[in-house]
Amino acid sequence: MRNSINPRHAAIGFAVLAAVLYGISSPAAKLLLESIPPALLASLLYLGAGIGMFAVSLLQSSRNKTRREAPLGKKDLPYVIGMILLDIAAPVLLMFGLTMTTAANASLLNNFEIVTTALVAFFVFRESIDRRLGIAIILIVFASILLTVEDAGSLAFSQGSILVLLACVAWGFENNCTRMLSLKDPVEIVVIKGFGAGTGALILAFFAGEAIFGSMGSVLAALLLGFFAYGLSIYFYVLAQRTLGAAQTSAFYAVAPFIGVALSFAIFGTDLTLSFAVATVIMILGAYFAATGGHHHRHTHAVVTHEHRHSHDDEHHTHTHDPPVADEHSHTHTHEDQSHDHPHTPDLHHRHGHERE
């Protein structure tokens, strides 16, 4: 039965599940900001992710003594450091932005993360941007401008919206750092993200003069929100990136803002303005075009040696074991030079360039 599951469909499912879990974060964080200051809340969210996923890792270790995932190594250190630093900045910017704008507006603006993730993937990591993803970027940028401009006549910009957009820029860069680690143990990645970014944000909260202690109920609620909306969400996001690449995973993740918008209207009774309604329609179109991209063509895999979780039921892992191994496992292996044609996305096995899309 395991072989009947399409890896791309499974990856899309992981990306959407990650989006659903993250979608609750903006409206829930808006409520928690009434009792917890912004930088401290950002810290608690990531610490909750780290603590929760560390408990998950202990549970996994007790049940399965055989390591199926590849651990992080020294070569991964630059991306780990970049990931942590960006994960300190992004949620702090978002929390401060939430204090100045509505949860619905912040949720919808989170789609701008698709734009920054795709552009960084294209310019820095040479991922391809097909025609549909290009259209999506244009639509989302236009909708983001509508949401950011408070007064079209005077071109007054919402400070809260600008902070949310800056958070999306930081997360766009961070997504690409995480993409370079996506073949490694996702639980280990989230634990490092959680404790690293959580500790960094806590230090910022201390130097900002924020009260480090709040009511126990609020603190526990923030930690629990962090476990689900950041910890489990990031875990499923990393699993999706293995197959879909950074840009397309971010595109399917676009479900999250609309979940946040729906919850925000239900909780806060936010007034629906014409500009918000128009921006929502444009965002939906942008998310659709982003999620329906993809391509196939004849391409060549160069010889590469690396380690990650894999099985032998695809076209890329043709090495043998003595005795044979049927289940998923992790070890250092070599991919031989290979040319073939099949539908694919820009995952870490398909990083070839394109002369023309």
Q: What DSSP designation does 227 have?
A: I
pLDDT, position 6: 77
pLDDT, position 286: 86
Q: What DSSP designation does 228 have?
A: I
H-state helical runs in the chain = 7-23, 25-32, 38-63, 77-98, 103-109, 112-123, 131-148, 159-179, 186-207, 216-225, 233-252, 255-268, 274-291
User: Which residue in this structure is represented by tokens 């293995």?
Assistant: 242
Cβ pair 349, 301 in contact under 8 A:
yes
**Euclidean distance between CA atoms 42 and 171, whole angstroms:** 14
Question: For the chain, how many residues are written?
Answer: 357
The region, left, alpha or beta by phi > 0 then psi within -120 to 50, assigned to residue 5 is: beta
Contacts of 317 (CB under 8 A, 6+ apart): 310, 311, 333, 335
Cβ pair 146, 204 in contact under 8 A:
no
Contacts of 164 (CB under 8 A, 6+ apart): 93, 94, 97, 98, 101, 105, 106, 109, 110, 112
R_g of the chain, CA atoms, integer Å:
21
pLDDT, position 158: 86
Query: Please, what is the angle between helix 38-63 and helix 216-225, to 10°?
Result: 60
CB atoms < 10 A from the CB of 265, how many? 17
pLDDT, position 125: 81
pLDDT, one tens digit for every residue, the chain (357 residues): 445 577 878 888 898 899 999 999 999 999 999 999 999 999 999 999 999 999 999 988 887 766 677 888 899 999 999 999 999 999 999 999 999 999 999 998 988 988 999 899 888 887 777 788 889 889 988 988 888 876 555 445 789 999 999 999 999 999 999 888 878 898 999 999 999 999 999 999 999 999 776 689 999 999 999 999 999 998 998 888 888 777 678 777 778 888 899 999 899 987 888 888 898 999 889 878 877 766 565 656 566 666 655 555 566 656 666 566 655 556 666 766 766 655 555 555 555 555 444
pLDDT, position 147: 85
**Euclidean distance between CA atoms 245 and 288, whole angstroms:** 17
Where in the chain are the domains? 2-297, 300-344
Global pTM?
0.79
Note the pLDDT tens digit of each residue in 100-119.
999 999 998 988 988 999 89
Q: Is 298 exposed, middle or buried (0-12, 13-18, 19+ CB in 10 A)?
A: exposed
pLDDT, position 68: 72
**Euclidean distance between CA atoms 357 and 131, whole angstroms:** 7
Note the pLDDT tens digit of each residue in 178-195.
888 878 898 999 999 999
Contacts of 139 (CB under 8 A, 6+ apart): 282, 283, 285, 286, 289
Cβ pair 46, 91 in contact under 8 A:
yes
pLDDT, position 172: 94
